[in-house]
Amino acid sequence: QTGKRDQSNTQSIKAAVDGNQSVRNGQTIRLKLMQDAFINNKFVKNLATIFATVSFGDNRLMMNIRSININGEIISCNLTVYATDGQPGLPADLSSISSANDAINQEVQRGIGSSRVGQVISSLFRGSNRNTLKIKVLNNHQIILVQNS
């Protein structure tokens, strides 16, 4: 070896959440690399900022990265965010929030009955679903990016 970097893709990349963030389904979350890496055969430096799209899964906050912007160059990629437990996405107790929404909805129905006002208020609470739900993710939460083939 003559000091050349191995330019093959880095399969597992250490990364972290960049700042405290509250995200909704479909929004993006800011991440930072915690090591140098090759992504789609392009060199990306440690501490580079990248963004993932968030979705809510079975008690997991799923994150995927389809492209990154490095110094104005858009690099196509296919990265999945894994928690340090080795599972895709970050653990998130979405079931308790869903249960709370159901309980509120039942109380509104019971308390106001079937009047027109009750139906409107009830539909507002039903609107509190996974699309309006916000999950707070803390700064420097450690994650692993895995390059999918």
Q: What is the DSSP string of 17-72?
A: E-S-EEEETT-EEEEEESS-EEETTEEE-TT-EEEEEEEE-SSEEEEEEEEEEETT
Tell whether the model's pLDDT for residue 4 goes beyond 70.
no
Q: What is the mean pLDDT of the chain?
A: 82
Tell whether the model's pLDDT for residue 140 goes beyond 50.
yes
Comparing 94-98, 116-120, 133-137, which segment has the lowest mean pLDDT?
116-120
pTM of the shown model: 0.74
Tell whether the model's pLDDT for residue 34 goes beyond 70.
yes
Give the Cα separation of 38 and 27 in Å (integer). Answer: 25
